[in-house]
């Protein structure tokens, strides 16, 4: 292995370009050497920004390049398994965005391919690398709030759903689209595996879609029972319109930890009518900008130092299992055992 890894981004959409910008100069010991996208427009637009040496429209061709040490997979979920297994067989280390795959069985195939080929596999749960969420874990581990009893985590996104998002049997709705990070954080903070999930939801913001998509929901609440007795409560919503909102509370027997804020900064305006005004966080891309870089650095370090990635394929599989169980619970209107 070189002392500097060369990375190929596979998938040059909005999320992919966040990773591209991280590797284009912000990650020590790594560089963006190639990009790949089946969409010619995406590929051309990305190349104007990053100007890399190698450009591909087929990931299979990229995997033949011996100059590439690792790949960043940011394609639609249904392609993850095939790309990851092919990359592993080609001897490339792999960072794969969440959700890891379409099923736990696919996750197992991906994990086994990486194990067999002795390559790293890291899954994209960037909140674990955010300084505030990391501090929450440090406080739990210090014992200052006592044993954890309950964890509440929310993610509310401002964007209006695209047409494909209304069919939740294909995209899983907020439980999968926005709450997979909350489910992973709850498991990380609980230090235990999920045992049972119960989810409820409803469509409040897009009633005009109810006839065509009767199962669609834009708001949900998910209750999780962990094996060690910790209770998790995750709430999610799409199209809230007031900004991006991601916060978590950890309630212990002796105290509480509150992680995250809705405010974009610490500036407040107070006027003579006694109204307090502050700016709202606009996007996950803003809130977790530094976390994405830290996540990329951790992946590069795990390759260069031959250490276990901080978020493993197993972590990705369990998060997907929780999402699937939550959606099943919502559709069947009953608790689901894991």
Could you read off the pLDDT of 172-222 as tens digits, one per residue? 999 998 999 999 999 999 999 999 999 999 999 999 999 999 999 999 999
- For the chain, the distance separating the N- and C-terminal CA atoms, rounded to the nearest angstrom, is 40
CA–CA gap between residue 195 and residue 227 (Å, rounded): 6
Could you read off the pLDDT of 148-158 as tens digits, one per residue? 999 999 999 99
CA–CA gap between residue 126 and residue 274 (Å, rounded): 38
What CATH number has the domain spanning 5-119?
A: 3.40.50.720
Q: What is the pLDDT of residue 218?
A: 97
The values of phi and psi at residue 59, to 5°, are: -65, -25
Average pLDDT, the chain: 96
Average pLDDT, stretch 11-24?
A: 95
pLDDT of residue 1 exceeding 60: no
Could you read off the pLDDT of 86-115 as tens digits, one per residue? 999 999 999 999 999 999 999 999 999 999
CATH C-level class of 128-287+319-337: alpha beta
How many other β-carbons are positioned within 10 Å of the β-carbon of residue 306? 10
Domain ranges of the chain: 5-119, 128-287+319-337
Global model pTM greater than 0.85: yes
Could you read off the pLDDT of 247-275 as tens digits, one per residue? 999 999 999 999 999 999 989 899 899 99
pLDDT of residue 2 exceeding 80: no
Domain pair 5-119 / 128-287+319-337, same fold: no
Q: Please name the residues in contact with 274: beta carbons below 8 A apart, sequence gap of 6 or more.
A: none
DSSP 237: E
Q: What is the pLDDT of residue 103?
A: 95
Partners of 96 in the beta sheet?
73, 123
Q: Please name the residues in contact with 282: beta carbons below 8 A apart, sequence gap of 6 or more.
A: 158, 243, 244, 264
Average pLDDT, stretch 54-68?
A: 98
Q: What is the pLDDT of residue 170?
A: 81
Q: What is the pLDDT of residue 283?
A: 93
Share of the chain above pLDDT 70, in %: 100
Q: Which of 133-137, 238-242, 249-253, 264-268 has the lowest mean pLDDT?
A: 264-268
Q: What is the pLDDT of residue 232?
A: 98
For residue 169, what pLDDT band results from cuts at 50, 70 and 90? confident
């Amino acid at each position: 292995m070189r002392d500097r890894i060369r990375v190929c981004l596979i998938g040059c959409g909005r999320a992919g370009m966040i990773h591209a910008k991280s590797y284009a100069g912000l990650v020590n010991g790594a560089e963006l050497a190639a990009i790949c996208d089946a969409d010619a427009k995406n590929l051309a637009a990305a190349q104007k920004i990053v100007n890399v040496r190698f450009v591909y429209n087929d990931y299979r061709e990229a995997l033949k390049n011996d100059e590439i040490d690792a790949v960043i997979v940011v394609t639609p979920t249904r392609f993850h398994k095939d790309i990851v297994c092919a990359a592993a067989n080609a001897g490339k280390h792999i960072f794969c965005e969440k959700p890891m795959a379409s099923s736990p069985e696919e996750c197992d195939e991906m994990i086994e391919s990486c194990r067999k080929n002795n390559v790293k596999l890291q899954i994209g749960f960037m909140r674990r690398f955010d300084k505030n969420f990391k501090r929450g874990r440090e406080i739990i581990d210090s014992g200052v709030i006592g044993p954890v009893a309950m964890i509440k985590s929310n993610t509310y996104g401002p964007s209006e759903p695209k047409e494909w998002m209304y069919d939740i049997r294909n995209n899983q709705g907020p439980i999968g689209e926005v709450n997979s990070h909350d489910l992973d954080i709850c498991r990380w903070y609980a230090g235990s595996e999920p045992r049972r999930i119960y989810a409820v939801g409803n469509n409040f913001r897009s009633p005009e879609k109810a006839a065509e998509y009767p199962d669609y929901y834009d708001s949900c609440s998910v209750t999780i029972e962990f094996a060690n007795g910790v209770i998790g409560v995750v709430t999610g919503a799409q199209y809230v319109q007031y900004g991006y909102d991601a916060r978590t509370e950890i309630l212990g027997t002796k105290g509480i930890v509150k992680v995250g804020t809705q405010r974009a900064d610490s500036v407040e305006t107070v006027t003579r009518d006694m109204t307090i005004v502050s700016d709202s966080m606009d996007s996950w891309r803003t809130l977790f900008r530094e976390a994405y870089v830290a996540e990329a650095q951790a992946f590069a370090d795990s390759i260069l130092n031959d250490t276990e990635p901080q978020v493993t394929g197993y972590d990705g599989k369990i998060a997907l299992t929780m999402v699937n169980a939550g959606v099943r619970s919502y559709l069947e209107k009953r608790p689901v055992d894991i």
